[in-house]
Amino acid sequence: MKFKILGFLFSVFALPSFAQDYWDLEKCVTYALENNLTIKQTELSTKIAEQNLTQSKGANLPNLNGFASNTYNFGQTIDPFTNQFATQRVRSNSLGLAANMNLFSGFGNYNTIKQREYELNASRYDLDQSRNDISLAIASAYLTILFNEEQVEQARSQAAVAAKQVERTQKLVKAGTLPQGSLYEVEAQLASEELALTQALNNVDLAYLSLKQLLQVESDQNFRIVKPNLEIAENQKVESTPGQVYDKALNTLPQIKSAENRLLGAEKQVESAKSKYYPTLTLNGSLGSGYSGLNQTASGFTSIDVPIGTTASGEQVSTTTQVPTGLEVKPFGDQLSDNFNQSIGLQLTIPIFNRFQINSGVSQAKLNAETRELNYEQTKNQVRQTIEQAYADAVAALKNYNSNVKAVKALRESYTYMEKRYDVGMLNVVDLTASKNRLTQAESNLLRAKYDFIFKQKILDFYQGKALAF
């Protein structure tokens, strides 16, 4: 029986012979922040906000467009350069550059840029919030593993105690000090402790699975976590007050900063909507030229005498003039040079009546700003309430831990006394088992209270901008 028990304990707690990769909390958090899909999605939202800001800034730059056309006209048409009618197939081309620049729009572009800057800031704070949420979830899963591994150690210790009790009872039964039934009772207790040990080991495996799922790694990836020294001092206190924690949180928590920047962006959106009440001034300019198949020049000339009158004596007077002997289309390059034109101008647009579109836009922007203001105040209230609850939970957890420390100490002394009485036959096995079970439960409660306080204290530290570390 002795060797059977020892064999069981050895098999349960034997470590694998192959090397394992050990991850501390920092490594777990870093890996999650680099690979978590939710964070990657939030990063894309931030990049979209960056592009929106770039687009808004570009609205202050001039537009420059080139144009070119090639047209064939059939039937009667008008030469665009001579304004003469022609009844033939005519080819014409036009090309050029056109530019315009907004000089004034009621500061609408400026306010839109500021709005997009606040939205980008909010998006970045949202990304920080996603990282914080993942980090807290990782820390919680990490602590859960540590808690379950300590439960395994407790279960191991309890099983070892039960095994020794079986050996002790066997000797007392052989000596006739205790009845045979006492041996059956302690063997049943050992079986119960072995079951608890198996369950504790299963809980460790499940806790590792939860951590791996948060890390988004394969479930068969082999690694163990580093076990830090987590002890609670005898004079441990919850140092900061809820008000002090809240004051620090206002300057550190990204969800508050995000809500604040969205409120500021909404206020700039109102100003941008109001800018449509003002006139807009635009600078326009263009360069262009063209070509026409009707733009022809003479290919050669001949001299002819043209009568211009007669003298007093009746003698006819004539003059010599040059007339073309043939026509040809003027070269493309020459036409581009001859037809080159430029323009520059200012355009003032004054809004007079727009079917109440501007009024509606301003009203919607104001409603959105009011919504953002309420969201901002609600976010601050939620954070304040969460901190107050976290503080109360931490204080209660510390009190619970201290009470359990006293309970374990008292029950441990009681069980030691019970063992001595049992060894001399002054106590039956039922009372000894009951004492041991009370001690086991108290130790389990103490362990749970310990990790409960550690996690709640870490939450308070986190709200104050302290790094998650053990």
From CA 329, how far away is CA 92, in angstroms rounded? 12
Predicted local distance difference test score (pLDDT) of residue 83:
66
Kindly report, residue by residue over 385-395, the tens digit of the pLDDT: 999 998 998 89
Q: Residue 160: is it exposed, middle or buried by C-beta count within 10 angstroms (0-12/13-18/19+)?
A: middle
Closest CA to 245 of 9, 16, 457, 66: 457
pTM above 0.85, yes or no: no
Structure tokens at 210: 């939860």
What is the radius of gyration, based on Cα positions, of the chain?
A: 45
E strand or H helix that includes residue 283: strand 280-292
Kindly report, residue by residue over 141-195, the tens digit of the pLDDT: 999 999 999 899 988 988 888 888 888 888 878 887 778 887 888 888 889 889 9
Torsion angle, alpha carbons of 183, 187, 193, 194, to 10: 160
Predicted local distance difference test score (pLDDT) of residue 343:
92
Structure tokens at 182: 């006492």
- Torsional sign, CA 116, 120, 122, 126: positive
Kindly report the backbone phi and psi dihedral angles of residue 306, in degrees, each rounded to the nearest multiple of 5, phi listed first.
-115, 120
Q: Scan for tokens 């808004």, then name that residue.
A: 56
Q: Residue 328: is it exposed, middle or buried by C-beta count within 10 angstroms (0-12/13-18/19+)?
A: exposed
Predicted local distance difference test score (pLDDT) of residue 13:
40
Closest CA to 220 of 231, 228, 212: 212
From CA 450, how far away is CA 154, in angstroms rounded? 14
User: H-type helices in 275-344, by residue range?
Assistant: 332-338
Predicted local distance difference test score (pLDDT) of residue 60:
84
Q: What is the mean pLDDT of the chain?
A: 84
Predicted local distance difference test score (pLDDT) of residue 368:
93
Structure tokens at 273: 């909507």
Between the CA of residue 278 and those of 58, 61, 108, 130, 273, what are the distances in Å?
A: 21, 20, 9, 41, 10
Q: What share of the chain is helix, strand, coil (3-state, %, to 5)?
A: 60, 20, 20
Tell me how far the alpha carbon of residue 396 is from its chain's centroid. 34
Q: Which residues pair with 119 in a beta bridge?
A: none
From CA 176, how far away is CA 432, in angstroms rounded? 18
Kindly report the backbone phi and psi dihedral angles of residue 356, in degrees, each rounded to the nearest multiple of 5, phi listed first.
65, 20
3-class DSSP state of 131: helix
From CA 375, how far away is CA 273, in angstroms rounded? 21
Which positions of the chain have pLDDT values less than 50? Answer: 1-18
Interacting residues of 253 by C-beta distance below 8 A, sequence separation 6+ = 383, 463
